[in-house]
Structure formats: structure tokens, C-alpha cells
Structure 1
Amino acid sequence: MDDQNKNLLLATVLSGVVLVIWFVLFPPEEPVQDPNAPAVTEQTVGDQPAIADGDLPTADGATTAAPVLSPEGDAPRIQVQTDRIAGSISLLGGRVDDIQLLDYDVTTDPDSENVQVLSRVGSPNAYYALFGWAPVDGIDAANVPGPETLWSAPADAVLTQDTPVTLTWDNGAGQIFTRVMEIDDNFMFRMNQTVENTSGNPITVRPYGIVRRHGEPDTTKFFILHEGLIRMSDGELQELDYKALSKMDIDDREGTNAERLEVQENGWIGFTDHYWQTILIPDGDAPFRSTAKFFESREIYQAEAVLPAVTVAAGETAEAGTRLFTGAKEWETLKHYEEDEGVTGFVDSIDWGWFFYFTKPIFWMLHNLNNLIGNMGWSIIALTVVIKALVLPLAYKSYASMARMRELQPEMEKLKESAGDDRMKMQQGMMELYKKNKVNPASGCLPMLIQIPIFFSLYKVIFVTMELRHAPWFGWIQDLSAPDPSSILNLFGLLPFAAPSPESFLAIISLGILPILLGISMFLQQKLNPAPTDPAQAMIFAWMPWVFMFMLGNFASGLVLYWITNNTITFIQQYLIMRSHGYKPDVFGNIKKSFAKKKKKEA
């Protein structure tokens, strides 16, 4: 194999590292109840009495299983209505369990329903938030508000961004609990909890917030995207997917699969999906216990923010606040909460990945291009052009090196003939040839290596960005986050039947226009150079464009659009740079030769 083809093959393989997307399936395993799981008792960590978390939030220490919350039945509800959110909150337990996002629909169909972020107990994959107080001393579990507590609220109260709602509950034993609920003009609730002790004895309680998911939700199961638990602890981000949550060790203090951290400041915890998230954020810089849990017996995932215990003397009042974000992971919105409302690292709840030092500025550029152009499809093309222009000096060095290697091809062929089977003589001759002509065969690969993190970061930004969801380009591409809806099987809509659904086994061969253009762009890029003389190499090169065409056929149109643009610009750059070094690529000649070889084999 000559060094020119070695470099070309390596460059192709390195590009393939960026292109290859591997679906990683996480099949749920049968839950196995640990027979050795310890019974839960009230324990102490430092000077903070731990909640008997096996039955949190009632905290009575009675069981290690997650509490079975009853469906609300006819329990009254508080309506929630803002410009961006609609839904309701149940007075049974004060559960935040019915939230829809008015700006986002499930599909692009005009009659589609709004996205449902939180859902009630009893619905498939129930997902909700709970708040309350856990007993520590001087009060028992029956006298603190729990998930079955029926709160009181003003008649016909509606929670809006201008009108907070106050819930109250008198336990009849000398304590009155109050919860003032507020919501802003985006996706942030604020729960200000108060306990007034009118008894003659002091009590000690701990305020908490819980986000709970019943069952593992549908996820993309895509290795470049994190979905699952996410938390910030003392400024450090941690991510645990659902499989990792189910594999957590049994925590003796928690009595179930759990991982807890004592956060001193700057923290939050919750669950994140592809585009949405629900996060608990304790007010201020107060320390809190951040706990991730998994209840195997009922397949419940739980995130907890438990604040320090407070002692309320007779006749005194204690107050605690926790915010709840439940909505879309919009960059500008998260940035507002981080910069203006002190939610440390909230923008990092977007999965920027390992190359965050590339993905963040790339996203910033895409976001601003979209604000300028007003169309995400053209913005992706413009961003790809900008990125290719920035790395042009590296690309120039790579392609120039390949062109110089091409110039040395005749002398390298002579060396092969004279050396015969003597590989040592061949290597020595090539080294002398490189030295004489001041050519470094590795210089064509190094720029490619440097570009890989940049292009992978661009790929990731396009995949995870909220702005891409349901964003139209033009014509038949009305959702850049979905696969190309056209299909070769119905001649791109000319035949009177619909294309196979993405779930159908025919979807893999139901290629749309964009995937076909992707295959063609890769094929043309290859034909800038003659096919390798080695049969194995030639076969790899011949199949690679079409393999990638099928691999990416069901990927988001925005991603495929990026790769078509990238391949097209790369083709133009490489062609012009080779011409500038005196080598004229015979693209059409190379195409003819490839077909001629096939015909010769068939004959």
C-alpha cells in the first residue's frame, strides 16, 4: 500500500470516527430484590438526623419500599396557567403532577397535543414533584404533611405568573403548615414552606423536595446524549443514567439503592431528558442532602433535596424555600437562571459532552446565526461553512501534503520495483526520498486528528440543541430533528402510498433524498483520487459511502444536512488545493474506472 493511499485511508477512517454513531441499547434487567437489604431505622449523620428514607416523604421508617401513592380520585386541583405552562397541582399531597408546555407540541401535526412534562400517579410512567417536612424530634409522621395530606386553598384559586397561591394544613396538634406557590414567566416554580408551632413544645423538622419517576422513561439510548439523573454538588456536575441508577449499591443509611452527597453550597438535583428536565434547586446557599435513589421493588427513580433540620420553638415559625424547574432546556432561559438568579452551572444541564470547550462556542455561534438568518437549516449550512473556514489552514496543510505525496508516486513505484520483497530496503529508500524532498508523510494526518474534536463537537451540538427540535428548513423538510420523511420506496411521494414508519423493518432501506445525497457526496469525495491498487482497500472504499448512507438514513435531517455540507465543502477545498499544487484530480475518469472494473469482473 503506497503512502498516499495510506494517508487517504487513515483520513477516511478518522472521519469515520466522527461519523460512526453507535446505538447502545440498555435492556432493562429483571429487578432482583436484595434479601440482605437492611431494615431502615432512624440514623444520624454527623449532627443531622437522617430521614428514614425508605418511606420518604412520610419518614416513618416502616418499610424499605417506595410509598404507594394512591391516585387522587376526586381530589380538588389548583389550575396552573401562564403564557408558557398549563396544567394543575393536586391538593392531595400538593403534588406538582400535571404540567404541559404550551410552546412545544409532541409532533409537527397542527392538531398535536402539547408536550406533557409531569404526569399524575396512575398514568403511564408517572412523573411528579413532592414537597414537605420530615419529622426529626418532638413530632411524629402523622402530624407532618405527606403525599396523602389534603391541603386547603382559596376557592377558584389559579396559579399564574402574577398570582401566587397559598396552601394550608392544620394538623390539629399545634402545628400549622403553609406553602406559598409561585411561578415565573418561564418554567420555574418556587415553593416557600412555613411551619408555625402553636404548641407548648419545640419540634425539629427537615424540609425536602422530591422528584420521582415511575418506571424507566423512553429514551434515545444514544451514547452521545445523557438522559437520567443530573445534579450539581458544590459546583461539580454529576450524571447517572437509568442503568447506573439501578446498579447503585445498597446504602445502609437509606435502606435501598442510593447514592447521597452532602452539598455545602451551589447545588441542584433532578432528571434530564433529551429536550426537557425537572430540577430541584434549594434556595440560597444553604447546605442540603442530595440523594439519588432507585426502588427495585416498584422500579421508581427518585431525586431528593433534603435541607438541614430546623428546630421550631413554641410560638415560633420556620421557613424554607425550594425552586422547581420543569420545562424545556432552552439555552437562553437556562443562562438567565444561571446569571440572573444564581443557579450555579445551570447551562451545564445541557449535555455539552467531553469537548465542551468546543461545543459551547459552536452552539453560541449556531444560536446567533439562527437569530440572524431565522432558519435553522440555513444556519447549519452557514455554521459548517464558518467552521470549515476556520480550520482551512489545517485542511490546506493536509491536502497539500497529500498532493506532494502524489507527486512522488512515480519514484515510489520505482522503489517498489527495485526493492522487490525486501521490505527493509523499501522502507529505507522511502525515508531517503521523503528526506530529500522535505515531505513528512504524517503531516497529512495530524491536521485531520486536530479537526476531529471540532467536527464531533459540531455534530453533538446539532444533536442535543433544543433549537433544532421541530425546526423547518424548506420543502419537505419540516423537522430537522427527525429523519428525512421522503422515501425511495414510493419514489419520493410520486407513488400513492406512504413511506414505511421509522419503527418498520423496511425503514433501513427507505432512504430519503438527504441520505442519498450524503452517499453521493462521500462517493464523489473519494473519486478525487484513483482507487487503491490493493483489492481489500478498493473494496472498503467502494462500500464506505453506501454503508454510511444506510447508517445515517434514519438520523435527524439536521445531522445529515451538516454532513452533506461538510462533504461538499471538503470536496471543493481538496480539489482546489490539489490543483494549486499541479495535480488535477480526474474525478469523472476515476468514476469511469471504478465502473469499468466492475464490468470487467462481471465479464
Structure 2
Amino acid sequence: MDSKRLILFIALSFAIIFFWNKWLETRYPPPPKPAAASAKVTPAGADVPAAAAPGAASAPPDSNRLQSGERVRVRTDLLDVQIDTMGGDLRQVALLKHGMAGDPRKPFLLLTDQGNRTYVAQTGLLGAGLPNHRARFQAGGRDFQLAPGQDALSVRLTTAGPDGVQIAKIYTFRRGQYLVDVKYEIANGSTKPLTASAYYRLLRDGHTENPGFFGAHTFTGPAVYTEAGKFQKADFSALDKGEAEHVKAARNGWVAMIQHYFASAWIASPKGQPAVCGPRDCRYEMKRLSDGLYSVGMIVDLPSIAAGGKFETSVPLYVGPQETRLLDEVAPGFDLIKDYGIFTVFSKPLFWVLDQIHKVVGNWGWAIILLTLLIKAAFYPLASASYRSMARMRKLAPRMEQLKERYGDDKMKFQQAVMEMYKTEKVNPLGGCLPMLVQIPIFIALYWALIAAVELRQAPWMFWIHDLSVKDPYYVLPVLMAISMYVQTLLSPPPPDPMQAKMMKIMPVAFSVFFLFFPAGLVLYYVVNNVLSILQQWWITRQIDREGDAPSSARKKPA
């Protein structure tokens, strides 16, 4: 009876995984082709705001393609950046400390407008004759590099507005930071007050990547955070249907484009600094544009600038990895961009513990092994009770065969006799399933923690494991896991039915097939966990065997 329940439990687990994968495919479908006639679209070059500030005029619609001027290149210790003088856009950002998926030696391209990809950061001013992202700027140079010992590097772009208005856009890059300060300096050389708004947006195509296997569909798309509305994100497919397009107002928050491991974001309320929105609310918007492009942005209404006066406003732009320690320092709620799926309540604490261990050992592979030891120690009493139950059931196997021969085809009496035997010997027939039940939430939570952790991306362990975030290239760990699972079946009580016994021996091999495509870090956890379970189960079984050749009631004649 216990074997049947175990097999049913395993089958149910596979069913849950299968339907979970199907649900995620429905929840995160690949983006449809951008030709939906029913979709509400806006020209790709159209201005971000739905309505401009009082007295400010909306910029005219653009063509669907980005226009280009000259390129200004900026290199720091972390970033390799290209700024286009057309609009002063940030057109390309390469992350020097992170490699491309196919070639770790090449810096990872986060923002780019090359080939069929469009992912850029744009800013502009709204007001009569003021420069938007189509205005041409002048730069004081074409190549800038952060020198050794230099902590900050500024790149100044200038252009002229109407009636003697002068505008400068200044990018400031700092050593060791993925935050780029973007400042507007506006000098009103006219004879009347100037009213304007500034907009900041991220423009992106609908290209998505869903790495992993069995449900590792990480979110890709725009997100908005405010203290009032909290964290809200929208699938590209939802924007295609017009379901998530909206304009919201708040005096704090941020807008972001999120993808697996990396993100870009305009920050209206940086941590430890006053919000840039001032006395008026910022307006946040995400929407679908034409040609498969999507926009998320915010508008900041600037105070009136008196004739002959000057005004400055700065908004930080984050372009970098979703490293937990970095996200916590950017803005309130910014850590929410790290996608742990629906298991955040378990995955986040698990990763915190893993991160603390890594600070000590300096290697993510050994950190995973030590985390496994901690988890095993935490559940040691529960696992011990379960293994004792399994060891006692194993010793009862000969008596089970005797009862089966005695009652033959009378299953009712056989089951009653078996349950009476369990009651007399104080054995829980379901106790052996308890360790697996305990491991399932830990397994799923750790799975999502490792899937979301850019810290493990291209992080080596030892020997042939050069990247813990992808599958084992030689499948050594999955094979070791299959062997460990098979050993566990040998230590478990043998099923009375020969067919069930064969299935129990086949199940480790069948189950291990799924782990061929899991991240090496996750399989490493499971291999170590199985080895520890085998040692614990072997030791407890040996103790039970030493208690006597048979349980006390076994020496009595069966009724």
C-alpha cells in the first residue's frame, strides 16, 4: 500500500510540473508579430506624454526608425557606452564585467540599436521649440575614458532652443557604478518665463529570451513602481492588446525595462535623495508603439524658469545586472525587478543565506554545497523520524510476504492485517514520503533563486563546471544524481508487488532525464542532498538493525 502511494505521489509530482509548465506558457507566451490590427499603437517616435505640461507643446510624431547623428563613446571600469548626438540618446551600453551568453569574452550588450535590435534610453524636453529626442546636439569630443584614479567622468552635449534658450544635457559616469546621472541645464535667455516638461523613456523591441527548462520563463517587459501603486509589470502581449496601457501620476517611483539577469530604469526617487518630481506628480506611462516597439517612461513637469534664469534637474539611469546588493542601494522597491516568480517568499531568503555563505567562501559552487548542509541540518530531526519509519518497514518486509501468502486474494483482510501490524510495531507507512514532501518547496524555491541570480551567471565551480547557471556540459552531475537516487531506492522498503519494484528501480533514471537540462548549480544541490540522505538513511538503518534481528512482536506467533 505504501509503495502504491509513493508511486502515486511521484506521478502526481510529474503532473504538477507538466501543468505548471503549460500554465507558464500561457502566462508568458512569446510576443506576437507586431501586425495585430486590433492593437492600439502609437508611432515609434511619438512623444512619451499623453498630455504635455501647461503651456508646453507636444513634439510632432516621428518616423518609425531611429535617426542617427555622430557617436560619442564613453568607457569606464564597468561600461562601454555610445551616445548619439541625435537627441543625445544612449544607444549602446556594453557591460564589461558580464559576457555574452555564447561568448563570455565579449561584453554583454544591454542597450543596442544594431541589427534587428532596438533597445535605447531617450530623453527630451516638451515645450514650444524645445529639443526632444530628434534634436541634434553638439559634443565636446568623440571619445572619453575614465582615467586611473579618476572617480567621475562627465560628457556634455549642448543645443540651442528658441529665443536664446540654451540647453545642455550632461551624462556623468562614476567608477564602480551602473547608475548614470543624466542632467539637464536650461538657461532661459529669452525675455519671458519658460514653461517646460522633461520626459525620460526606454524604447525596446519585443525580443524575449526564456532560458531554463520546465517553467523557467523569466519576465521580460516594462515595469512601473510607485509607493501608491506598488510594483506593476506588463507583458508585451498585454500591451499588444491594450490591456496594460496606462498613465499614472505619483511623486516618487521609477520605470524600468526588465529581462533575465539585467535591467534598465529611470529613477524618479533615488534612495537617500529627494524625488525629482518636486511639488507636482510625475506621470508614468507604458505602451505599445508601432513596428513591435514598446515604451515605458515618465514625465517631470519643471518649474517655470524666469527670463534670464537657469534651472538644473537630474534623473539617474540604471543600466546593469540584477545583483541583489546593487539593487538594494538604487531606490525603494527596486529589488522587485529580480524575478523569483511566485516563490519569492521562499526564494529570496534562500538566496540571502546563499549570498552570506558566498561572502565567506568566495565560490558559488561551494556556497551551494554548504547551503545544502544547512538545509539538511535544519530538517535532520524530521528526516531521521522518516528514515526510522522506513527502516522498520524494511524489517517488516518478510512478515508482509507471509501475510500476503496467508490471505491470498482477500485484499480486505490483507490490508487489515497490514494496518494492524503497522499499529503494533508503531510504524507510519507514509513516513518514508515525508523527506520528499519537505524537499519539494525547498527544491522549487532554490530552483527559482538560482534561475534569477545573475551572480551565478558564468560563475565557475571547479573542473568542468564553468557556469553554474546552465546545464552540466558533460551531464556528469545528472548521472551522479541518477546513481544516488537508485542507491536510495535500495535502502527503501521493497514493494511487495514485483511490477512496483521494477518501477521503483526505473523511476530514478526517468526522473534524472529532466535534470539533464537544469542549471548545474541546482543539480549540484540535489546530488549533495541525496548523498547526505543516503549516509543518514544508512546510519539509521544500521542502528535499527542493531536493536534486534526483528521487532519484538516478530518473536510472537502471528494470530
> Relative to structure 1, is the Cα distance of residues 405 and 131 closer, same or farther in structure 2, using a 3 angstrom cutoff?
same
Residue identity matched to 2:131: P
Do structure 1's residue 196 and structure 2's residue 187 form an aligned pair?
A: yes
Residue identity matched to 1:274: H
After the TM superposition, which residues 51-130 of structure 1 pair with which residues of structure 2 at under 5 Å, given as runs? Answer: 51=51, 59-60=58-59, 67-72=63-68, 75-106=69-100, 112-120=105-113, 122-130=114-122
- What residue is the counterpart of 1:507 in the other structure? none
1:354 and 1:36 map into 2 onto residues whose CA distance is 29
1:352 and 1:36 map into 2 onto residues whose CA distance is 30
Unaligned runs of 5+ in 2: 44-48, 548-559
1:480 to 464, 468, 477: 468
- Work out whether residues 130 and 162 of structure 2, in 8 Å CA contact, stay in contact via their aligned partners in 1: no
Q: CA RMSD in A?
A: 3.6
369-378 or 7-16, larger mean C-alpha shift: 7-16
* Deviation, structure 1 residue 114: 1.2
Question: Residues 308-359 of structure 1, C-alpha deviation per residue, up to 9 Å, x if partnerless?
Answer: 4644444444443211111122222223x24xxxx11223322233333432
TM-score normalised per structure 1: 0.76
- What residue is the counterpart of 1:547 in the other structure? 510
- Work out whether residues 69 and 147 of structure 1, in 8 Å CA contact, stay in contact via their aligned partners in 2: no
2:448 and 2:14 map into 1 onto residues whose CA distance is 15
* Deviation, structure 1 residue 187: 0.7
After the TM superposition, which residues 497-508 of structure 1 pair with which residues of structure 2 at under 5 Å, given as runs? Answer: none
- What residue is the counterpart of 1:528 in the other structure? 491
2:421 and 2:371 map into 1 onto residues whose CA distance is 41
Residue identity matched to 1:260: V
2:245 and 2:63 map into 1 onto residues whose CA distance is 16
After the TM superposition, which residues 225-264 of structure 1 pair with which residues of structure 2 at under 5 Å, given as runs? Answer: 225-234=218-227, 236-249=230-243, 258-264=245-251
> Relative to structure 1, is the Cα distance of residues 311 and 416 closer, same or farther in structure 2, using a 3 angstrom cutoff?
farther
1:164 and 1:187 map into 2 onto residues whose CA distance is 14
After the TM superposition, which residues 136-285 of structure 1 pair with which residues of structure 2 at under 5 Å, given as runs? Answer: 139=128, 143-155=129-141, 158=144, 160=146, 161-185=151-175, 186-220=177-211, 223-224=215-216, 225-234=218-227, 236-249=230-243, 258-265=245-252, 267-283=253-269, 284-285=274-275
- What residue is the counterpart of 1:383 in the other structure? 371
- What residue is the counterpart of 2:343 in the other structure? 355
1:17 and 1:370 map into 2 onto residues whose CA distance is 35
Residue identity matched to 2:486: F
180-189 or 239-248, larger mean C-alpha shift: 239-248
Report the 3-state secondary structure (helix = DSSP H, G, I; strand = E; otherwise coil) of the residue aligned with 1:69: coil
2:531 and 2:12 map into 1 onto residues whose CA distance is 18
1:16 and 1:572 map into 2 onto residues whose CA distance is 27
> Relative to structure 1, is the Cα distance of residues 524 and 35 closer, same or farther in structure 2, using a 3 angstrom cutoff?
closer
After the TM superposition, which residues 424-573 of structure 1 pair with which residues of structure 2 at under 5 Å, given as runs? Answer: 433-446=421-434, 448-486=436-474, 512-529=475-492, 531-534=494-497, 537-538=500-501, 540-573=503-536
Do structure 1's residue 131 and structure 2's residue 138 form an aligned pair?
A: no
Report the 3-state secondary structure (helix = DSSP H, G, I; strand = E; otherwise coil) of the residue aligned with 2:341: coil
- What residue is the counterpart of 1:500 in the other structure? none
> Relative to structure 1, is the Cα distance of residues 559 and 447 closer, same or farther in structure 2, using a 3 angstrom cutoff?
closer
> Relative to structure 1, is the Cα distance of residues 442 and 528 closer, same or farther in structure 2, using a 3 angstrom cutoff?
closer
Unaligned runs of 5+ in 1: 41-48, 250-256, 487-511, 585-603
- Work out whether residues 81 and 90 of structure 2, in 8 Å CA contact, stay in contact via their aligned partners in 1: no
After the TM superposition, which residues 284-295 of structure 1 pair with which residues of structure 2 at under 5 Å, given as runs? Answer: 284-285=274-275, 286=277, 287-295=281-289
Residue identity matched to 1:279: A
> Relative to structure 1, is the Cα distance of residues 422 and 396 closer, same or farther in structure 2, using a 3 angstrom cutoff?
same
- Work out whether residues 159 and 183 of structure 1, in 8 Å CA contact, stay in contact via their aligned partners in 2: no
Residue identity matched to 1:362: L
2:144 and 2:41 map into 1 onto residues whose CA distance is 45
Question: Residues 80-100 of structure 1, C-alpha deviation per residue, up to 9 Å, x if partnerless?
Answer: 121111122111111111111
Report the 3-state secondary structure (helix = DSSP H, G, I; strand = E; otherwise coil) of the residue aligned with 2:370: helix
Question: Residues 228-260 of structure 1, C-alpha deviation per residue, up to 9 Å, x if partnerless?
Answer: 3333221733333433443442xxxxxxx6133
Do structure 1's residue 320 and structure 2's residue 313 form an aligned pair?
A: yes
> Relative to structure 1, is the Cα distance of residues 215 and 553 closer, same or farther in structure 2, using a 3 angstrom cutoff?
same
* Deviation, structure 1 residue 129: 0.1
**How many pairs does the alignment contain?**
519
Residue identity matched to 1:273: Q
Report the 3-state secondary structure (helix = DSSP H, G, I; strand = E; otherwise coil) of the residue aligned with 1:321: strand
TM-score normalised per structure 2: 0.81
Residue identity matched to 2:120: Y
2:41 and 2:112 map into 1 onto residues whose CA distance is 32
Residue identity matched to 2:545: G
Question: Residues 27-82 of structure 1, C-alpha deviation per residue, up to 9 Å, x if partnerless?
Answer: 44344444595999xxxxxxxx84379xxx994465xxx8523341xx23332121
1:576 and 1:244 map into 2 onto residues whose CA distance is 55
Residue identity matched to 2:248: L
Residue identity matched to 2:451: F
- What residue is the counterpart of 1:364 in the other structure? 352
> Relative to structure 1, is the Cα distance of residues 130 and 36 closer, same or farther in structure 2, using a 3 angstrom cutoff?
closer
* Deviation, structure 1 residue 17: 8.2
> Relative to structure 1, is the Cα distance of residues 6 and 277 closer, same or farther in structure 2, using a 3 angstrom cutoff?
same
* Deviation, structure 1 residue 457: 1.8
Question: Residues 494-521 of structure 1, C-alpha deviation per residue, up to 9 Å, x if partnerless?
Answer: xxxxxxxxxxxxxxxxxx3222222222
- Work out whether residues 41 and 288 of structure 2, in 8 Å CA contact, stay in contact via their aligned partners in 1: no
Residue identity matched to 1:226: F
- Work out whether residues 164 and 181 of structure 1, in 8 Å CA contact, stay in contact via their aligned partners in 2: yes
- Work out whether residues 131 and 210 of structure 1, in 8 Å CA contact, stay in contact via their aligned partners in 2: yes
> Relative to structure 1, is the Cα distance of residues 328 and 87 closer, same or farther in structure 2, using a 3 angstrom cutoff?
same
Question: Residues 130-160 of structure 1, C-alpha deviation per residue, up to 9 Å, x if partnerless?
Answer: 012223xxx2xxx122222111232457374
